[in-house]
Structure 1
Amino acid sequence: MTQAAPLSLCAREPRVPAERLVAEMVPPPRFDAVRFDTYVPDPNQPSQIEAVKVLGSFAAGLGGAHASGAGRRKWFSKKPAAPTGPRGVYLDGGYGVGKTHLLASLWHATPAEPSLKAFGTFVELTNLVGALGFQQTVQTLGGHRLLCIDEFELDDPGDTVLVSTLLGKLVDAGVALAATSNTLPGKLGEGRFAAADFLREIQGLSARFRPLRIDGEDYRHRGLPEAPPPYSDEQVAKAAYATDGASLDAFPRLLEHLAKVHPSRYGALTDGLRAVCLTDVQPIPDQSTALRLVVLADRLYDREVPVLASGMPFDRLFSEEMLNGGYRKKYFRAISRLTALARDAKGLVGQ
Structure 2
Amino acid sequence: MSSSTAASGLSPLTGAAPLSLCAREPHVPADRLVAEMVPPPRFDGVRFATYIPDPNQPSQAEAVRVLEDFAAGLGGADTASAGRRGLFGFGKGRAKAAKAPAGPRGIYLDGGYGVGKTHLLASLWHATPAEPARKAFGTFVELTNLVGALGFQKTVETLSGHRLLCIDEFELDDPGDTVLVSTLLGRLVEAGVALAATSNTLPGKLGEGRFAAADFLREIQGLSAHFRTLRIDGEDYRHRGLPEAPAPFSDEQVTKAAHATANASLDAFPDLLDHLAKVHPSRYGALTDGLAAVCLTGVRPVPDQSTALRLVVLADRLYDREVPVLASGLPFDRLFSEEMLNGGYRKKYFRAISRLTALARDAEGLVESR
Using structure 1 for the length normalisation, give the TM-score. 0.91
Cα distance in 2 between the residues matched to 1:182 and 1:129 = 23
Cα distance in 1 between the residues matched to 2:362 and 2:217 = 37
CA contact (8 A) 2:111 2:200 kept: no
Alignment length (residue pairs): 334
What residue number does 2:317 align with? Answer: 299
Match of residue 356, structure 2, among 338, 342, 346? 338
Q: Deviations over 1:35-71 (max 9, x none)?
A: 111111111000001000000000000012326xxxx
What residue number does 2:338 align with? Answer: 320
1:251 is aligned to 2:269: yes
Trace 1:275-294 onto structure 2 (pairs within 5 A).
275-294=293-312
Find the residue that maps to 1:220 and give its secondary structure: coil
Q: Deviations over 1:281-330 (max 9, x none)?
A: 01111111111100000000000000000000001111111111111111
Find the residue that maps to 2:168 and give its secondary structure: strand
CA 1:79–1:148 in 2, change beyond 3 Å: closer, same or farther? closer
What residue number does 1:94 align with? Answer: 112
Cα distance in 2 between the residues matched to 1:156 and 1:227 = 33
What residue number does 1:82 align with? Answer: 86
1:152 is aligned to 2:170: yes
Deviation at 1:155, TM superposition (A): 2.2
What residue number does 1:41 align with? Answer: 53
CA 1:207–1:288 in 2, change beyond 3 Å: closer, same or farther? closer
Q: Deviations over 1:80-133 (max 9, x none)?
A: 301343310000111111111111000000000000000001111111111111
CA contact (8 A) 1:27 1:104 kept: yes
Q: Deviations over 1:163-217 (max 9, x none)?
A: 11111111111100001125446559xxxxxxxxx99754334333110000111
Q: Is 201-210 or 51-60 further displaced after alignment?
A: 201-210
1:28 is aligned to 2:40: yes
CA 1:309–1:257 in 2, change beyond 3 Å: closer, same or farther? same
CA 1:23–1:86 in 2, change beyond 3 Å: closer, same or farther? same
Cα distance in 2 between the residues matched to 1:199 and 1:120 = 25
Match of residue 131, structure 1, among 142, 149, 158? 149
Deviation at 1:139, TM superposition (A): 0.8
Find the residue that maps to 1:152 and give its secondary structure: coil
Cα distance in 2 between the residues matched to 1:215 and 1:271 = 34
1:59 is aligned to 2:77: no
What residue number does 2:127 align with? Answer: 109
Q: Deviations over 1:320-341 (max 9, x none)?
A: 1111111111110000000000
CA contact (8 A) 2:46 2:122 kept: yes
CA contact (8 A) 1:199 1:205 kept: no
Cα distance in 2 between the residues matched to 1:22 and 1:200 = 30
Report % sequence identity: 84
What residue number does 2:28 align with? Answer: 16
The aligned amino acid for 2:131 is E
- Give the root-mean-square deviation of aligned CA atoms: 2.0
CA 1:175–1:283 in 2, change beyond 3 Å: closer, same or farther? same
